[in-house]
Structure 1
Amino acid sequence: MAISDVKEYTHLTEDEVDQIGRELDQIRADIEESRGASDAAYIHRMIRIQRGLAAAGRITLLAGTQVKETRKPALALGAGLLGVAKILENMEIGHNVMHGQWDWMNDPEIHSSNWEWDTAQPAEQWKHSHNYIHHQFTNVLGYDNDIGYGILRMAREQKWSPANLGQPVYNALLASLFEWGVALHDLDVERIRKGKKDPKELKRQLRQVVRKGRNQVLKDYVVYPALAGRRWKSVMAANVAANVTRNLWSYMIIFCGHFPDGAVHFTEEEIADESRSEWYLRQILGSANFEGGRLLHILSGSLGFQIEHHLFPDLPSNRYPEISEKVQALTAKYDIPYTTGPLHRQYGQTLRTILKLSLPNSWTSSDQPEPPTPPHDRKRRGDDERPSRRSELGGWSRSSAQARG
């Protein structure tokens, strides 16, 4: 269901909405004021652990495969260690560093402007498609390109076409090749197809993607396998397994953040003259958490606290558990929906939505009211059609990116 007025949907008065905004601003201020040595120690520890896991995985694959008796267990262990290292680097480290969560440390190595992560999408393009577009226009049809990543129909308000019948296949391919799907995400294939993409900008972005993708392929599928000598095929297969493991995990965690039952979509009317407090409400209503222990949250980049992450994307991820307690108390106080549940249930609901929306609305039932207007094409906007609002989403700008070439 897409909503066009969060105040009306939540039955809140203007004063209540403003008060919620003030209380969330105070939560932000409290965390910003209390950031310190323990937070810095956390991210440094995560980086050391991740690099240790990656080194252990590489060494296990290179050394363990040389002896016949240890070959199979070394391949399994090495692929597992490397897969976990890639998950940790992409999710808890790279994703959060590039959100500026650690910029306050003024450490040039761990800064959003300098970090380049271990995946195929260039950091600059990710910060545009994710920090700027997705976080600013969360779940707004036609504005948020993360709704289906341009290939999946994820809302009943989106017009159905026969091509959507292939969604189960598209979804499986996207999950397995998630690194490469994300790498192409900021190119905006739909605008390319319609001839609306600036050719110079497209060429610049393609050069970035080809360069980054080439380096990833060389690293994982040429250089490290070559170091194994005659066992290069085994090491290459283990690297493929590590990357697919990372892809499947990242896909599941990210899709569980906005598509389980309870996470709603919005029409463009909602963001017209949207106040900061209303933006806060939209983040709560459009996001979904999942429950689990501390290790699960670390491996998921703390996106089990997706609501808190969308409210405060640039606050340190290790503080989300305490922020969550305050946010839950606030939502209970004002009777605002707070969507959460076990990971398996959140993904099960997401997968059900993907399968149901591969069919026309008339063929499936819904426990939500039907769209207020007939489903239609929600055309994806360009940057010139998207207003800029939130300073906490990062310092990305197209002009500075173009200046860097």
Structure 2
Amino acid sequence: MNTSFYIAKRYLFSKSSNNAINIMSFIASGGVIVASAALLIVLSIFAGLKEYSLDFSNFTDPDLKILPLRGKSFLLSDNELKTLNSIEGLAVISNIIEERVVIKSENKNLLATLKGVDENYQYVTQIDSMVSQGSWFAPGNNDVVSGMGVSNNLSFGLFNFLKPLTIYVPKPGKGQGSSLNSYFNSEVVTNVGLFSVNENLDNEYIFSDIEMARRLLNYEPQQLSALEFKLETSADEDAVRDAIEANFPNKFLVKNREQLNDALFKMLNTENLAVYLIFTLVIIIALFNVIGAIIMMILDRKKSLNTLFNLGAEPKMIKAIFFFQGTLMTILSGIAGIVIGLIIIFTQLQFEWIMLTSDFPYPVNLKLSDVIIVMGTIFGLGIIASKLASQRITKDLIKTVA
């Protein structure tokens, strides 16, 4: 084994008398270097995009959110609220009432989502920092803050008292009514702010004080749609989740920020997997060059192989020589590619030389797991390619000297 490895190293670092084989070996190594560097860079880019998406959701989503396991709402007693407040790791709790509503502005109607929040909501999320026009509403009145898309669709702005907004919610019950008021609860509101986060939220949400939402929906004083939590900096999310589920078994559905944006993260994870498979295919194509280079080396060194065979070397040992040579070529090229990828990633993190916008650098995030994945992919496929190439050596090939 040691003899085969020693000879393989000598073969790898010595030039062939045939210049074409040297060029082919250089191309094979270069292909692996480029493919491994590209794979690491792309995986880091997708990790950066995922981290950026998660950080961006800090503005609108809580650390944890509990929803009713059944139905649209639940009753939270004072004792249950005390139990929640006693759970270690919870910094702020915000009460939420959320429902689909119809918003009317003059002769225009729009189906949207009304989210009634209390004064703690600004500490649980940072949605108030995304208000681009006007300001966040003060509690205890009929002011609302609308998404920019809702405003554009209904053609209203800020403090437009000449074009009042009316929010309608169907009343529960059966039978026929005598007027519009018999079918709907309504509230006339004033828009005091416009927020801009993303297209989905801007076109969907309108925020109000929780008491106004409670009146509109005829909710009881302790009836809520959800609770949103801000965790302490040092809190263990899994421990807090387990504590909530232990204290309220089979009552609440607990979701973290990633689960609240599961569609986005499923898309990112799917794209990440697709890109990984595509670049793995590129690596496989590059390793075909390695196989070709090894086979050409075998043919170029037939005289040396015949000498080794006459000196007592078994075909198994000669196969091992070229197996080690191909494996070493792949491993060294893969390491070189990873180093190049790391340099490019670190320079982007340090100098931000590629910008997504004029003032925002392209997000990248270097993770040890991505480095391990690239190394495992390169080394695993390289070993398979070297094994396939070395199997071309037979006793008849060794004995046949050109």
- Does TM, normalized by the shorter one, top 0.5? no
TM-score normalised by the shorter chain: which range applies? under 0.3
Q: Which of the two has greater strand per residue?
A: 2
TM-score (normalizing by structure 1): 0.21
Q: Which of the two has greater helix per residue?
A: 1
